[in-house]
Amino acid sequence: MSRDSEVEHNARLVLERVHTLAAACGRPVVVVAATKTQPVPLIRAALAAGIRDIGENRVQEAVEKHRELAGEDARWHMIGRLQRNKVRTAVRLFSLIQSVDSLALAGTIEREAAALGRVMPVLVEVNVGREAAKGGVDPAEAVNFTETLGRYPHLRVEGLMAVPPAGTNPEDSRPFFRRMRELQAKIMDRGWTHAPAGILSMGMSADYEVAIQEGATMVRVGTAIFGPRTAGR
């Protein structure tokens, strides 16, 4: 089986599994294909399988791929840490920025979105495991941080995003996913017009099934679709 065919097969399996889990939980779940370092032909294969959402970690890499995939029916997500000097390009390119974790970054997105005359959909990234090496807002500050984003009229907080600490099995992620669902509920209960917060982006290849059981409405899947990244990628 060619790499293209393998990716298309894997993507169909992931979509089918997510659809089954989502139906059991009574809510739709979006699969974002995490395409960091993946070549365009393999992304095309995933799109052919029915993937409609592409997640990139680096703005410049996304720009190049977006150019080659022009005309494809796809929505682009920024899922990595966003540098402020890349915000102008990000606001033009992405449908959703999933990694807002500081007021400085939010302010820069606000200025660029205002210049384009658009309201930029974003997610608040939460450092749910309080890991020093990861970005994200402290869980204890997530609700207040989301409230503060109401000062930016060109941002709309569509929800939360998190990457839990790496565990030895998927069940290790469950308490972190549960904590994220609790935070989302607190924000939604506020009824803020700037933060409907219906999206809960959590769960990757190893633990997306647990994430969906705990409330995910969006999962970011790379390895389960594309296979392990090769050395040097």
CA atoms within 13 A on the CB side of 5: 2
| Token output for 162 | 């998190």
What's residue 230's pLDDT?
59
Distance CA 104, CA 36 (A): 25
User: Is the Cβ–Cβ distance between 68 and 47 less than 8 Å?
Assistant: no
The DSSP code sequence of 26-38 is TS--EEEEE-TT-
What's residue 149's pLDDT?
98
Name residue 96's beta-bridge partners. 77
The strand pair at 53-56 and 199-201 is best described as: unpaired
CB neighbours of 21 closer than 8 A, spacing ≥ 6?
Answer: 29, 209, 212, 213
Name residue 123's beta-bridge partners. 159
User: Is the Cβ–Cβ distance between 45 and 72 less than 8 Å?
Assistant: no
CB-neighbour burial class of residue 69 (10 A; exposed 0-12, middle 13-18, buried 19+):
middle
What's residue 179's pLDDT?
98
User: Is the Cβ–Cβ distance between 93 and 85 less than 8 Å?
Assistant: no
Distance CA 125, CA 100 (A): 6
Per-domain boundaries in the chain: 3-225
Q: Which residues of the chain have pLDDT under 50?
A: 231-233
User: Is the Cβ–Cβ distance between 222 and 205 less than 8 Å?
Assistant: yes
The strand pair at 155-162 and 96-100 is best described as: unpaired
Three-state DSSP class for 114? helix
User: Is the Cβ–Cβ distance between 137 and 161 less than 8 Å?
Assistant: no
Name residue 155's beta-bridge partners. 120
Three-state DSSP class for 137? strand
CATH number for region 3-225: 3.20.20.10
